[in-house]
Structure 1
């Protein structure tokens, strides 16, 4: 069966700077008479030799029934169900199609998935050729209709292409930064949790969370409010901590005119999200104050760690003057600079105690970040056995 490449897609309405889901205004005009424009035939997947007409939105598809039922229990059941008292029809027409309440781009991606040639499948593994929009749509609809092999294919590709998004080709970065609506990202994240362990760093869910953070970093005027709500609803506590932290370090309030007071940095957050934001900011300030007392730290080792630490610490504190509050970046910079200074000044003295200490503090910071904003996870009471 021949195909004409990935289907053409409608432009997505997510070009505004907000990362909030698109909604229609309450005052939008409602037409008095419903639009009765007849559906149009899809240019690629209304096939003359097809035996099943399906309507999605205002588009008609004519495809081969066996391609839908061979890998989908949902479609097998759908086509075997009688309509009322009649036996299930084996023929559908333009006037009497099967109606599916899906996004037309998603169904078009499914058609691509069942008709694509092996070479087209292989091209999607190539970062320079992949149509990431098609793969995302295919993953969503394949999961809904239980196309298990197509779902696995799309999931593996998504995991590959959205891992380390910042290092990917421009087309992939543009998809995650601009083209993919935030609601689509939420759907991808939600269904990825059904197949993945979100605590495994290599999982698709983990890669999607990092891609969402990259999206927010690349769009400094966008709000993390919707992403925080999604993370909260999905129980992704660590992701919530990362989102609050991103908002904290990227929010640089302006000083009010003729005043020493600064504007509030939480205007883009929902009311119930502001308390955790302020709680985290205060907790991290105290955490950093404690870290900065490190000049008094003594290392019990036979190497030159104490000498390097004592001499380098004042330089580190001086480097922080004028920098925006960002403990994670500051600790990583400190580790990098002290290693560099040791090589240049101290002829590569063994400072393993220092590097181990700073690395442990960074890991501890990453592990407990969400606790600063959300409070520690309550410990489970012991189970009483009668």
Structure 2
């Protein structure tokens, strides 16, 4: 037995009957217009359970499907009554909706593979698609041990150095608008051969990242999910494409740990975020209107169909209305939060020895003067208005450089340092809340 691939061949063997029109609900009429074939690798002559996945019949052993306390075992134990049991013949198979034949073939490979064949899973030549399919099907049919084994193999695969998820180093993914435009399907410029290659590799990597984080979320595999979130955070700081991917995945899968940082990264990119036209459909494509350089008549307008996540010819990211609303809310909430922080220095508990042997008022005054001076310093003002985390970290650095030339008590200096650190962590934890769907008056509790 050899490891199957997604394009594994199949044999066209006798089917479940010719195409015919029947009004009855029999299994033959259900598949009357479909050409059914037997799988070349997993239609065993001595099999005891026939399954139909898409247009492919698998004949495997019930004892194999009943292992690991799977849902198949529970299904086989149900009484059939007077009806003919499904899975006994090609004409009346057990139908598995929602699965692909290639995925189920990969799953069966894991069930039937010999020990020496399984070694490839932990080798440099491991097939990520194979592992993902095994984990997904195992999760669906409650093969818990097999699911855990496959997910651990996926996690090991992802953590290899250099990462096999990328055919080139992460640093090759530039966030410049020109390279992003080359990647966009709507770009009118001609890409060079090297740009086309980078685009292809980037698309493949994006698809792999999406499938992996969806799998980790589906199977509730915390280690894999955390690994993928950390990887996306690294990638999105280098490319707007990955920042948008992280933002979309955070929304689609409700990943709080990723949402705040992803939205913040998109908001801080130099590419202008663009709102789709009101005439856009509710699907993933939107319509934007672009005026010609000269002329203001209606004839000078032309419509260009753009896909969400792409870059328009003017270098702007196309996003959905709901994403735009969250970005605007985030900008408003973060700028307002910074104004509160700037005008209200954090309060910390003074050391008991400060009041006994130090001028308590002078200690407080020294801290307040430092805070007001540094929060309007040149380094802070160079950052974006909504970059609260960046500004706080700059103040934190300035505090470390403040030295001993201060009228603050030593213990109070340590308390103030902890206070700044807690402030940074508080903003990080509350970051997803800033990017709500509506502008609100919430107190995010970071002060």
- TM-score above 0.5, yes or no: yes
Q: TM-score with structure 2 length normalisation?
A: 0.55
Q: Say which SS state the counterpart of residue 241 (structure 2) adopts.
A: coil
Bigger RCO of structures 1 and 2 (CA < 8 A, at least 6 apart): 1
Q: What are the superposed Cα offsets for residues 233-272 of structure 1, whole Å, 9 maximum, x if unpaired?
A: xxx54544344323322363289999xxxx9999644323
Q: Answer whether contact 1:74 1:145 (CA < 8 A) is retained.
A: yes
SS class of match (1:61): strand
User: Which residue, 96, 109, 124 being the options, matches 2:106?
Assistant: 109
2-structure distance, mates of 1:275, 1:46 = 53
CA distance in 2, matches of 1:212, 1:288: 27
Residue 369 of structure 1 pairs with residue 389 of structure 2: no
Report the CA distance between 1:328 and its aligned residue: 2.7
Structure 1 gaps of 5+ residues are: 12-33, 197-201, 380-386
1:227 and 2:242 aligned: no
Equivalences, count: 329
Structure 1's 298 and 54: CA in aligned 2 closer, same or farther, altered over 3 A? closer
Does 2:100 match 1:100?
A: no
Summarize the Cα distance change of 1:179–1:283 in structure 2 as closer, same or farther, 3 Å threshold.
closer
Q: 1:65 to 1:185 in 2, by over 3 A?
A: same
Among 150, 156, 166, which residue is 1:154 paired with?
150
- Give the counterpart of 1:326 among 387, 390, 396: 387
Alignment of 1:23-38 (within 5 A): 36-38=34-36
SS of 2:68's equivalent in the other structure is coil
Specify the SS of the correspondent of 2:240.
coil
Distance 1:157 1:103 in 2: 22
**Corresponding residue of 2:164:** 171
CA distance in 1, matches of 2:63, 2:394: 59
**420, 427, 436: which one pairs with 1:358?**
420
What secondary structure does 1:8 align onto?
Answer: coil
Give the structure 1 partner of residue 138 of structure 2: 142
Counting only pairs closer than 5 Å after superposition, residues 288-299 of structure 1 correspond to structure 2 as 288-292=338-342
| Cα distance, 1:365 vs structure 2 | 0.8
Answer yes or no: is 1:180 the counterpart of 2:197.
Answer: no
Q: Report what 1:55 is aligned to.
A: 52
CA distance 1:216–1:110, change in 2 (3 Å): farther
| TM-score, normalisation: structure 1 | 0.62
Structure 2 Cα separation of the partners of residues 376 and 160 of structure 1: 45
Calculate the aligned-residue CA RMSD, in Å.
5.2
Bigger Rg, structure 1 or 2: 2
Which residue of the partner structure matches residue 268 of structure 2?
249
Report the CA distance shift for 1:180/1:376 in structure 2 as closer, same or farther (over 3 A).
farther
Give, in whole Å, the separation in 1 of the partners of 2:336 and 2:375. Answer: 22
The structural deviation recorded for 1:295 is: 8.8
Q: C-alpha separation between the residues in 2 aligned to 1:316 and 1:10?
A: 61
* 1:178-221 deviations in Å (ceiling 9; x for gaps): 23374x4575254334xx7xxxxx55554454455556556523
Q: Which residue of 2 aligns with 1:274?
A: 324
